[in-house]
Chain A
Amino acid sequence: MTETGKQLKLDKLSPRQLMSLDACTRCGECQKWCPVYTLESKEDVTPRSKIKYLKKILKGENSGLFGLFGRKPGPETLARFTKSLYECSCCNQCHFVCPARLDTVELWENTREAMYEAGMGPLPEQKTYCENLKRDGNPFKKEQAHKAEWIEAGLAKGTLTEMPELITDNLAPVLLFLGCTASFDEKINMVSQHAANIMNHAGVRFGILGPEENCCYGKLRRIGDPEFREKAVGNIDQINNLGIETLVTACSGCYKTFKNDYARIGKQNYEIYHLAEYIDLLHRQGKIRFEVPIEGKITYHDPCLLGRHNGIYDAPRRIIAAIPGLELVEMDRNRQYSRCCGVGGGLKMANHDLQEEASVYRIKEAEATRAEFLTTPCPTCYSGLAGAMAKAESPLKMYHLAELAARSIGIN
């Protein structure tokens, strides 16, 4: 128990995770690569510091006979730990560079859950975010009934070639799960239109859930809200009952949630693809062809949730390579070393300025390649990087990967 009277429950952590706290040698490799440390240069934000504080807190709570093995941490330790735990984008870079291979993000997320249950976290902005998300079913504070408004807008503008059907009507084998950002965010919902256009063009029998599409609730898991499990079970049941064979999601946050988090909660009777993987698959199957050239140099931003969290590096690059006229120039930090844009893991809510700085840093790295275009297949990264481009007055032009694919196919 801390001096505040609150206690972290160990039932949210695993024996392996507690063991890993003593496997850290404080070598500092995590500090060298941490995107937040790059911006703040404060020891407190490093993964090794988070581990140090967590050890101290847990030792204080489990101090053994006569308190021999630890003292209760004071409020200052707790405050420093809380700040460092939540001002982290959970980008997984520390795991990839850690010589002891500590599974850091899983540790942060489980610890956040323990903090949530103990009333020691999250930060107020994150708590409000979680409450709104659970109340509205999406993080945009909009009614779910508006989730398919991108369809009407697209049809009216002529950017959506066909009206996608509801999967509950057409019982198609493929569900296009668009995610909240690609549905509600007016600056980004072109992604949904491109996705639907490409699938129609390829002759894929697919449907959408429209207003019935719930949030994947991945952010609840990232922030540690214990209600995530219940929400996940609801989504798994709903989608299993559709009888689909394949789920294609346009969002890398949804992809990580379905692929990694739901997989630990329940059986999903369908294959899961990210849109970038699916477009690549359609191309390799010869169902789509990239024939319209797009001339210029382009650089690619690997989203953490697709790359480091799921090992998807090649499919997006194959799409770029297949588009005539495009020349890929890599940023210095790419693939498993790709620098996080800062939007994930709840950092955007915890410290918006820091997230924006992280995105600007990434934009500068993209500019250093001398590419004209920047692309990414993640609507959330797209949103963060677009904001940073405006702030940094970047000469780069950004495309979502689906937009590039659609253009080269000759749609729009």
Chain B
Amino acid sequence: MGGAELYYKPWTYFWIVQSLGVLLLLTGLGYKISFYFKARRRSLYNEPDFLIMLKAFFREVLFQKQLAEKSAGRWLAHMLIFYGFMGLLLLSAIAVALETVIPETSRISLFMLEGAGHNYYKAAGDLFGVVILAGLVMAFVRRYIKKDSQLHTEAGDTITLAALFLLVAGGFLLEAVRISMTASGPELTYSFIGYRLAALFDGAANAGGLATALWVFHATLNAILLAYIPHSKFLHIINSPVEIILNASEERMRGDLYI
């Protein structure tokens, strides 16, 4: 969305690596689901209670009340990462839709690509990026500096935080380089982080090459993360909400969590 002519973007590489990432994601998820359904015992013993499941979805998945009750700091860190991630995912979905489904001449395309929508999109991207980085910094401090006694760090935990950080930070740097190559204008200020970081690259000798390298890095890391999701703690993004919702319905068997 915008700025496509400023520096070289190897789109063929992009589509290959993203397709591979998506393919590995789907293969990994397929392997996981087929593994889960090798188990033969019943998963549910009660008739599903959809109302209580819906309540649990809002209360424990969207608002994460159960985490808030334990620690305000942990809740805030997780909410920032969660909503930052969801926001960036939504923006990516919008970008893909504009690229593939929505006609270029439609009003919405014109609004998003050339109108005020483009500025709002850029501002939202920076906002969600900052939100996720703030959450990651809090998580980093808790795990590696404060060394909270209930954490037991293994490689997978570090990879998860580092990968998300690199993805978001790389995105900001790419944006900064792009802005540094762009003729000044008020619309650039909507990218409020990238705009400020752009000063770092003013007068850089090979800004175009750097932008291309960062673009390739960002795309590659994104694809690697997609492939990594089913085999890492990232899978909790899907499995934890499902477990919370199923448990909300089943919990009546035992007692008082959802009364």
Contacts and interface: CB of A to CB of B under 8 A. Distances in A.
B109 interface: no
For the side of the interface on B, what is the size category? 35 or more
A294 interface: no
A203 interface: no
A260 B254 CA distance: 7
Nearest to B70: A29
A22 B66 contact: no
B6 to A, nearest CB: 40
A21 B231 CA distance: 12
Nearest to B41: A14
Interface residues of A, number: 47
Contact of B250 (A11, A28, A92, A103): A103
Interface in A1-24: 10-20, 22-24
B36 A18 contact: yes
A170 interface: no
Contacts of B246: 16
Contacts of A10: 38-40
A157 interface: no
A97 B35 CA distance: 27
B67 interface: yes
Interface stretch (A73-81, A304-312, A338-346, A355-363): A304-312
Contacts of A32: 150
B104 interface: no
B239 interface: yes
Contacts of A14: 39-43
Interface string B220-259: 0000000000010101100110111011101101111101
Contacts of A49: 152
Given A20-B239, A25-B233, A31 B150 contact: yes
Contacts of B49: none
B150 A23 contact: no
B239 A19 contact: yes
Given A28-B151, A29-B150, A101-B247, A311 B236 contact: no
Contacts of A167: none
A31 B151 CA distance: 9
A22 B239 contact: yes
Contacts of A100: 236, 239-240, 243-244
A383 B114 CA distance: 77
B196 interface: no
Given A25-B233, A101-B244, A101-B257, A69 B31 contact: yes
A92 B150 CA distance: 18
Q: Give 3 closest A-B pairs by Cβ, nearest first.
A: A311-B255, A28-B150, A16-B43
Given A10-B39, A18-B36, A22-B239, 4 more contacts: A14-B40, A16-B43, A26-B157, A311-B256
Interface of B: 31-32, 35-45, 60, 64, 66-67, 70, 74, 148, 150-152, 154, 156-157, 231, 233, 235-236, 239-240, 242-244, 246-248, 250-251, 253-257, 259
Interface of A: 10-20, 22-29, 31-32, 43, 46, 48-49, 58, 62, 64, 69, 92, 96-97, 99-103, 110, 260, 263-264, 308-311, 313, 336
